[in-house]
Amino acid sequence: MNYRHAYHAGNHADVLKHIVLARVIEHLKKKDKPFRVIDAHAGTGLYDLSGIEAGKTGEWEGGIGRLAEPFAPEIEALLQPYREVIDALNSGGLTLYPGSPELALRLMRTGDALLANELHAEDAMALERHVTGEPRARVTALDAETCIKAHLPPPERRGLVLIDPPYEAKNEAEKATRMLGHGLRRFATGVFLLWYPLKADDIAAGIIAEVEAMKVAATLRVELRVREAFAGGGLAGSGLLILNTPWRLDSELQLILPALAQRLGLGNWGHGLVEWLVPPK
Question: Residues interacting with ligand SAM, by CB under 6 A?
Answer: 1, 3, 5, 14, 17, 41-43, 99-100, 117-120, 123, 143-144, 164-166
Closest CA to 234 of 11, 10, 15: 11
Supply the minimum distance, in Å, between the C-beta of residue 6 and ligand SAM. Answer: 9
Q: Which residue is nearest to ligand SAM (CB)?
A: 99
Q: Decide: 256 and 80 in contact? Cβ < 8 Å.
A: no
- Smallest distance from ligand SAM to CB 101, Å: 7
Which residues are catalytically annotated? 164
Residue number, 123 or 128, with CB nearest to ligand SAM: 123
For ligand SAM, the closer of residues 98 and 272 by Cβ is 98
Query: Do the Cβ atoms of 251 and 226 come closer than 8 Å?
Result: no
Beta strand 191-198 with 219-225 is unpaired
Separation between Cα atoms, residue 221 and residue 274, nearest integer Å: 6
- Cβ proximity of 119 and 141 under 8 Å: yes
Nearest residue (CB) to ligand SAM, 34 versus 99: 99
**Smallest gap, in angstroms, from Cβ of residue 228 to ligand SAM?**
22
Least distance (Å) between residue 32 CB and ligand SAM: 27
Q: What is the Cα–Cα distance from 207 to 205, expressed in whole angstroms?
A: 6
Q: Which is nearer to ligand SAM, 100 or 245 (CB)?
A: 100
Provide the minimum distance between the beta carbon of 54 and ligand SAM in the complex, in angstroms, as a whole number: 13
166 or 258: CB nearest ligand SAM: 166
How many residues are listed for the chain in this entry?
Answer: 281
